[in-house]
Structure 1
């Protein structure tokens, strides 16, 4: 009797944990001419109210506007299920968080939104397609304003995004802001249909693992940002394949807090198979690895290893600048930023076992500013092969270009054009170590492998 009762209780507990909320029972329709937003939202709300479970998107095609994910909700897309974003701007709800950041003080629109949600899973072998090409770029800072993000999580904890395919956002594909304990595993991202088409943006997040992601983006690929004083820290990124017209792996551009304890390994960087159009960047990509501090903030204990790179114009870019863009206080507008009154720091970077083939001829750079050097960088076992071809007659123009420190400029690996070194141009640095560096060019190139200015 006791055994039977135990089995019954165990079965009941399992059923509670595995409760499903199928959106078809809430009135969703397998028809992209009709909205299923309210059906999906009601299923999410009921699941959250009941303490959690799975909201199931069955095989089929469903059109939605903005939905809000809540705590303890597991959104599961079955194989063959696709959520399509509406192409009407009025179907997207403006959302505003109380988090203080450059990216939150204006109401933003997105297809899937969460703020202060805990214990959330989005998984399955289905697809979420934002149909972002519909939303035209109307102004310089219109991302999330008139062009929706696809996925945006703010101040959320214990989040898992697994196995799904994400396509065609109006701007950034995924923005995780001030989130903790985030896991991204085995997802596919295709984002080449509009401006600002990043694949992944981690912004002031802690305790993050990203593994087995395949990303093909017009703008930056895997991007860490810090649009508030909150650092990105304790982050592991591994075993990914990334294509980008811009920067495949990037720490920056926004760096109010900075980056600490970042491990990136076993990444393949390659050009996209789809080279029909380009909104930003370079056809073969701007950089493979960009590590930047330009808005105050610090960068320390960053390790990048086992990277195979095909293409990119200027593969490795480490930059300490002084753009000094601030962040916002709660309740202020975009024009009222807290000023940044200091130059940040870069200290303790390790780059190891990086193979680069068929790159552009620009070269790589490690640059600080006068009296603000980049310090303690170790580069080892790096092989660079690029087209070369720079002649002696090209050198005067190259030297004129790099005399400009460009202290306040937007940091970009191509910001000086062709560099004085065919390997590494190093300026305003202290304690930079090179070990086992090989530079090869297809065509004869008169530049030395290394050029150093104000280094110790």
Structure 2
């Protein structure tokens, strides 16, 4: 047996030792942010990939780059004290266009680090990638990825790992994983509070994803699942993260062409940012802790959110089925209302929330179905008078937890819903509040009488 183990270790050692390091300085990269090292880094990546894979090493130092394109079996490794800085000149970013059809691949886009149709890509180490995104001004309504670069974008990736790295200051979304399979994100730190559309994490139509131990501070949404093509986000586990956001801490939506299935999010701490020096979207206290939305014809089923603690947020829980019906390519017509069926939200504690209240709402003839909320405590400022029930269904409007204004319930407003169950809910208000805890309209709610 000892001989077998020894032989295995020798073979394994021989296999692992064949993966070479490709130090970017050997290709001409210089630790000098006044000089561009894009070509040197790209040559290291290309040679590494052509040799069958290995580690592209970024040693301690400060290196300026424009767009680099990762290839299969390349491990981009940043040593402690190493920083890749994004160029502040648009001319240094290479426009890229995938042939994967989705909402945000209709035109060429720019990003600092890009990959498409790759396998076995790793980004790791204890260094930093800083996009210097404040340098790119918002020029139009929909300019993210056009004149404001993403920091990291991976399309159709398989077996992708991002761990231990620090990501800072993107021009828009920090990291966008589109139509990827088997993604592992572990122990990363994300700071993205310097421009518009500064999401921390966007998983878009991805399958089999595990996210653990992320520390994220973003102006826009923090943990964000999207479906900008017919491909669902499916089999996703996110746990043990600490996030800050002026918008939504945990959000499924807004784009929901395919939808979401088998999503498990747990052990998330939501807290105010330590840096409130700038705000581009949202509210100082944050908009919501949990937003679950279907508005573009997709489905949301078997979604479990548990073990959430939140400080702040204006309207902590928001579940919304509507009919914005926006397609993922020009001219597409969405001719169906989507479905929400099977949501479990449990063990949630929210402190110092705003007085708006929470909501679970569908549309006439298209109810939200089978939502269970248990062991939830929400403490908010209260002090509100009786508030009328919203008349407008707002079926085409952008879904946001604050879209109804101050709700008629100090706890939950439920409309157009079936199979809604509340168990162990406590609503505390700092000041007396005239509103009832629950307002129910066209809804089947347990316990009865709510």
TM normalised by structure 1 equals 0.95
Take 2:334 and 2:240, find their aligned partners in 1: how far apart are those partners?
36
Q: Hey, what does 2:153 align to over in structure 1?
A: 152
Query: What is the root-mean-square deviation in Å for CA atoms of aligned residues?
Result: 1.5
Correspondence 1:268-283 to 2 at 5 A: 268-283=269-284
User: Can you list the C-alpha shifts for 1:117-176, whole angstroms capped at 9, x where unaligned?
Assistant: 100100000000000000000001000000000000001100000000000000000000
Of 15, 18, 26, the residue aligned with 2:17 is 15
Q: Hey, what does 1:332 align to over in structure 2?
A: none
What SS does the aligned partner of 1:48 have? helix
Correspondence 1:28-39 to 2 at 5 A: 28-39=29-40
Q: Is the CA contact (8 Å cut-off) linking 1:246 and 1:286 kept in structure 2?
A: yes
In the TM superposition, residue 295 of structure 1 has moved relative to its aligned partner by: 0.2
Take 1:407 and 1:440, find their aligned partners in 2: how far apart are those partners?
31
In the TM superposition, residue 276 of structure 1 has moved relative to its aligned partner by: 1.2
Q: Hey, what does 1:265 align to over in structure 2?
A: 266
User: Can you list the C-alpha shifts for 1:11-35, whole angstroms capped at 9, x where unaligned?
Assistant: 6433213x10000100000000000
In the TM superposition, residue 8 of structure 1 has moved relative to its aligned partner by: 8.1
Q: Hey, what does 1:346 align to over in structure 2?
A: 340
What SS does the aligned partner of 1:14 have? helix
Take 1:56 and 1:161, find their aligned partners in 2: how far apart are those partners?
15
Of 367, 370, 377, the residue aligned with 2:364 is 370
User: Can you list the C-alpha shifts for 1:62-95, whole angstroms capped at 9, x where unaligned?
Assistant: 0000000000000000000000000000000000
User: Can you list the C-alpha shifts for 1:399-441, whole angstroms capped at 9, x where unaligned?
Assistant: 3xx1111000000000011000000000000010000100000
1:49 aligns with 2:50: yes
Q: Hey, what does 1:201 align to over in structure 2?
A: 202
Correspondence 1:173-212 to 2 at 5 A: 173-212=174-213
What SS does the aligned partner of 1:118 have? coil
1:124 aligns with 2:108: no
User: Can you list the C-alpha shifts for 1:210-255, whole angstroms capped at 9, x where unaligned?
Assistant: 0000000000001000001000000000000010000000000000
What SS does the aligned partner of 2:46 have? helix
Indicate how the Cα distance of structure 1 residues 10 and 370 shifts in structure 2: closer, same or farther if over 3 A, else same.
closer
In the TM superposition, residue 105 of structure 1 has moved relative to its aligned partner by: 1.3
Structure 1, 5-14 or 289-298: larger mean CA deviation: 5-14
Q: Is the CA contact (8 Å cut-off) linking 1:219 and 1:280 kept in structure 2?
A: yes
Q: Which runs of 4+ in 1 moved over 4 A?
A: 2-12
Q: Hey, what does 2:404 align to over in structure 1?
A: 416
What SS does the aligned partner of 2:18 have? helix
What SS does the aligned partner of 2:44 have? helix
Q: Hey, what does 2:420 align to over in structure 1?
A: 432
Take 1:185 and 1:22, find their aligned partners in 2: how far apart are those partners?
24
In the TM superposition, residue 327 of structure 1 has moved relative to its aligned partner by: 1.2
Q: Hey, what does 2:353 align to over in structure 1?
A: 359
What SS does the aligned partner of 1:38 have? helix
Q: Hey, what does 1:67 align to over in structure 2?
A: 68
In the TM superposition, residue 9 of structure 1 has moved relative to its aligned partner by: 6.8
Take 1:61 and 1:212, find their aligned partners in 2: how far apart are those partners?
26
Q: Is the CA contact (8 Å cut-off) linking 1:87 and 1:131 kept in structure 2?
A: yes
Q: Is the CA contact (8 Å cut-off) linking 1:238 and 1:265 kept in structure 2?
A: yes
Q: Hey, what does 2:437 align to over in structure 1?
A: 449
Indicate how the Cα distance of structure 1 residues 306 and 12 shifts in structure 2: closer, same or farther if over 3 A, else same.
closer
Correspondence 1:108-119 to 2 at 5 A: 108-119=109-120
What SS does the aligned partner of 2:419 have? strand
1:92 aligns with 2:93: yes
Take 1:301 and 1:443, find their aligned partners in 2: how far apart are those partners?
37
Q: Is the CA contact (8 Å cut-off) linking 1:327 and 1:339 kept in structure 2?
A: no
Q: Is the CA contact (8 Å cut-off) linking 1:420 and 1:451 kept in structure 2?
A: yes
Take 1:11 and 1:367, find their aligned partners in 2: how far apart are those partners?
58
Q: Hey, what does 2:379 align to over in structure 1?
A: 385
Contiguous gaps of at least 5 residues in structure 2: 445-450
Indicate how the Cα distance of structure 1 residues 413 and 31 shifts in structure 2: closer, same or farther if over 3 A, else same.
same
Take 2:11 and 2:225, find their aligned partners in 1: how far apart are those partners?
46
What SS does the aligned partner of 2:64 have? strand
Take 2:244 and 2:350, find their aligned partners in 1: how far apart are those partners?
14
User: Can you list the C-alpha shifts for 1:260-317, whole angstroms capped at 9, x where unaligned?
Assistant: 0000000001111111111000000000000000000000000000000110000000
Take 2:159 and 2:257, find their aligned partners in 1: how far apart are those partners?
24
Q: Is the CA contact (8 Å cut-off) linking 1:173 and 1:198 kept in structure 2?
A: yes
